[in-house]
Amino acid sequence: MPVDICRVTSVSKTTNSTPDISQTPLSTVSITNGSCIMNKLCRQLSIESPGPVVKNCVFNFFVPIEDTPALGARIEIVCAGACYRRRDRSASFSSMSSVASDLSDYCASVASSQSSPAHAAVREGSLFPGFEVAGVIESLGNEINEENNCGLHIGQRVIVYPFEEAPAGYAELLVVPDLKYIVPIPDHLPISVAAMLPTGALLAMNAVFKAHDVVIEMLKERSSDANDSKKKCKILIVGTGGLALWAVRIASYHFASTGANNYIDVTVASLRDEGFRLATEMKSVSVVQWNECLYEPQLIERTQNMCGGPVDVVIDFGTTSRSLHRSLHCLSKVGVVLVSEEVAERLLPKFSRLLSETQQKIIPIPTGSIKQLHDLVNLVAEKKIQPPPYSVFPCEQASEVIQKLCNSEIPGRAILRFRDIE
Lowest mean pLDDT among 6-20, 67-81, 339-353, 392-406: 6-20
DSSP state of 180: G
How high is the pLDDT of residue 240? 67
How high is the pLDDT of residue 52? 57
How high is the pLDDT of residue 115? 38
Report yes or no: 239 and 223 within 8 Å, Cβ to Cβ: no
Tens-digit pLDDT profile for residues 52-82: 554 567 777 777 888 899 999 999 999 988 8
- pLDDT-derived band at 228 (thresholds 50, 70, 90) equals low
What is the DSSP code string of 232-295?
Answer: PEEEEEEE-SHHHHHHHHHHHHHHHHHTGGGTEEEEEEESSTHHHHHHHH-TTEEEEE--TTS-
How high is the pLDDT of residue 164? 81
Sheet hosting strand 285-289, strand order edge to edge: 285-289, 264-270, 233-239, 311-316, 331-340, 361-365
For residue 313, the cross-strand partners are 235, 336
For 294, phi then psi, to 5°, come to -90, 155
How high is the pLDDT of residue 354? 84
pLDDT at position 102 over 60:
no
CB burial of residue 313 (10 Å; 0-12, 13-18, 19+):
buried
How high is the pLDDT of residue 214? 96
Tens-digit pLDDT profile for residues 170-222: 778 889 999 999 999 999 999 999 999 998 899 999 999 999 999 999 999 88
- Whose CA is closest to 365, among 336, 400, 340, 329? 340
**Mean pLDDT score of the chain:** 76
Share of the chain above pLDDT 90, in %: 40
